[in-house]
Amino acid sequence: MRERRYSSTSPEHLATALFDVAAESGLGGASVREVAKRAGVSIGAVQHHFSTKDEMFVFALRTLVDKLLMRLKAVDRSGDPARALFSVMSQLLPLDEARSREAHVMAAFAVRAATSPSLAEIRRKTLFTIRTGLSAVLIRIGTPEAETRAALLLATVDGLALDAIGSPSLYPPEYLEHALDIQIAMILQGADLAPSSVELAS
C-alpha cells in the first residue's frame, strides 16, 4: 500500500513522530526513514530540517524536555511541602499510559547521552534545572543536606521509572506512588515543616 507523502513539514511535527516511534520500538528504531514514514512525509522533508540523525534527536529531546519542564512548573503546589513535592515528582513516574511512554523515551535519551555529547548537554542542563528547583524548596523549609537530598529525590524517581518501564508488574502505579511518598517523607526528615514555610516557589 502506497501512502501519500508530503514534501514539507515542521520540525515539531517530526519531533512528535520521533517520540511515537521511540515509545513503541525504542530510539534504535527511530531512523530518519521511520520518522519520515510515521510523519507521513518524504525522507527529503526530514533532511530539510535535520542534516543528521543526531540533530533530529537533539531537537526531539529539547522539545520533550521543554514540555516536561513547563508541565512541572504548572503543577498545583498547594498543600504541605510533602504534598507539593509529590505533585511535582509524580509527573516523572510512569503512572499512566502517557507518562509511561514519556518515561521510556526519556530513559532512552538518558542512555544515549552516554555516547552523544549534544544529548548529554541537554540532559545535564535538565537534571541541573530540576535539582536546583528541588534544592530551593528543601533549603527554604530547612532540610538538612538539602542539595544532596534534592539530587537523591530526582535519582530515586528516575530509578523507579527505569525499573518500572521494563517491569510494570513489579512496579504498579499504586506501588510507585507509595514508594515516592516514603522517599519524600525520608527526604523531609529534620526539615522545619512549620505552616509558614508551606508555600513553594513557582
Q: How far apart are CA 42 and CA 48, in angstroms?
A: 10
Near its own copies in 18-47, by CB under 8 A: 24-28
Nearer to its own copies, 119 or 141 (CB): 119
Cell, residue 164: 518500572
DSSP states of 172-190: -HHHHHHHHHHHHHHHTTT
Q: How far apart are CA 143 and CA 188, in angstroms?
A: 6
Give phi and psi for 7, each to the nearest 5.
Answer: -95, 0
Q: How far apart are CA 64 and CA 112, in angstroms?
A: 15
Q: Which of 58, 89, 95, 119 binds its own copies (CB under 8 A)?
A: 119
Q: Is 132 in the site for its own copies (CB under 8 A)?
A: no
Near its own copies in 43-62, by CB under 8 A: none
Q: How far is the CB of 2 from its own copies (least distance, A)?
A: 28
Q: How far is the CB of 135 from its own copies (least distance, A)?
A: 13
Stretch that binds its own copies, among 3-11, 62-70, 73-81, 115-123 (CB under 8 A): 115-123
Q: Is 149 in the site for its own copies (CB under 8 A)?
A: yes
For residue 115, how many other CB atoms are within 10 A of its CB? 8
For residue 110, how many other CB atoms are within 10 A of its CB? 18
Q: Is 124 in the site for its own copies (CB under 8 A)?
A: yes
| Amino acid present at 59 | F
Q: Is 128 in the site for its own copies (CB under 8 A)?
A: yes
| Dihedral sign for Cα atoms in the order 57, 59, 60, 65 | positive
Q: Which of 7, 169, 196, 202 binds its own copies (CB under 8 A)?
A: 169
- How many residues in the shown chain lie near its own copies by CB under 8 A? 48
Cell 534544592 identifies what position?
135
Q: Which residues bind its own copies (CB under 8 A)?
A: 24-28, 104, 107-108, 110-115, 119-120, 123-124, 127-128, 145, 148-149, 151-152, 154-163, 165-167, 169-171, 178-179, 182-183, 186-187, 189
